[in-house]
Amino acid sequence: MSSRFFTTDALVIGSMRYSEADRIITLYTKERGKISAVAKGVRRTKSKVGGRLEPFSLVKMSLHSGRGSLYTVVGVETVRTFQGVRDELFRMEEGARLLSAVRHLFPGEEASAPAFNLLVRGIARLSECEDAPTAAGIVLATRLKLLVLMGYAPEVTQCARCGGDGPLYGYSPGLGGVVCDSCVEEAGASCFALSNGAVATLQTLCQNSLAEIKDLELDDRATAEVEQVVAQTLAFHGH
């Protein structure tokens, strides 16, 4: 078989309608990172692949690379559907946040098996979680860990500008970490205040495994602040 064909494990991270009955699927693949592919005829009710290409599905996919940047889906086998994510609105909303982070954070074709495995673990945990706060914690932790894997780990123990241990004021996405009172002015307009609880939550989420998140009692206010840290960091580094 020609080298234009290849098979890889892939997670469906986005899908949009295209042409009469086709879809353009965005995938995060184990071997080539983020790619887009045309799945022909999958919107027809008799398509045998349509149901396998919904977002959050983990599949083994055969692809063909044509002349352009778009691949063509040749065959799909389901590995796991993670149906639990689609069964509850709160899981779906949190899952959407995670997939959106992946779409923005990763550049084009750049494979990262650890990021792929982390993403699959994050979605697996999300599909099993019982309540909305746990779902939010799992997705927040997964996004944070993805940032760490990409080399954008936020500095949370000392001032990201001067390295001092002085009283910490807030977070600067541009400097990539917390800043102390005396560095606030130099940190720029994007710097925002952060409570001590939020800094502790940031450290907890970075250090604990995804399996442990459900047992943590996360403070709502601190979690909201960490959400801002992650969202702003993603916006700063995203593509």
Partner 1 sequence: MFSPTVQKLVDELSKLPGIGPKTAQRLTFHLLKLSPEDALPLAHALIEVKEVVRFCDRCFNLTEQDLCDICRDLGRDQASICVVEEPGDIISIERTHEYRGLYHVLGGALSPLDGVGPEKLHLAELADRVRDEETREVIVATNPTMAGEATALYIVEELRHFVNAGTLRITRPAAGLPMGGDLEYADEVTLGRALAGRREL
Nearer to partner 1, 59 or 179 (CB): 59
Nearer to partner 1, 90 or 200 (CB): 90
Nearer to partner 1, 94 or 225 (CB): 94
CA distances for 90 relative to 52, 93, 127, 225, 228, angstroms:
22, 5, 11, 20, 19
Provide, rounded to whole angstroms, the least separation between the CB of residue 86 and partner 1: 5
Provide, rounded to whole angstroms, the least separation between the CB of residue 176 and partner 1: 27
Judged by the rule CB under 8 A, the positions of this chain that interact with partner 1 are: 14-16, 19-20, 45-46, 48-52, 54-57, 78, 81, 83, 86, 88-89, 92-93, 95-97, 99-100
Q: Is 47 left (phi over 0), alpha (psi -120 to 50) or beta?
A: beta
Tokens representing residue 140 in the block? 């927040």
Provide, rounded to whole angstroms, the least separation between the CB of residue 88 and partner 1: 7
Secondary element (H or E) of residue 65: strand 58-65
Taking alpha carbons only, the member of 59, 24, 22 closest to residue 43 is: 22
Tokens representing residue 106 in the block? 């990763």
Provide, rounded to whole angstroms, the least separation between the CB of residue 114 and partner 1: 24
Nearer to partner 1, 13 or 178 (CB): 13
- Sign of the CA dihedral running 45, 65, 75, 82: negative
What's the rounded Cα separation, in Å, for the pair 192 and 21?
46
What's the rounded Cα separation, in Å, for the pair 110 and 164?
35
Nearer to partner 1, 49 or 156 (CB): 49
Provide, rounded to whole angstroms, the least separation between the CB of residue 16 and partner 1: 8
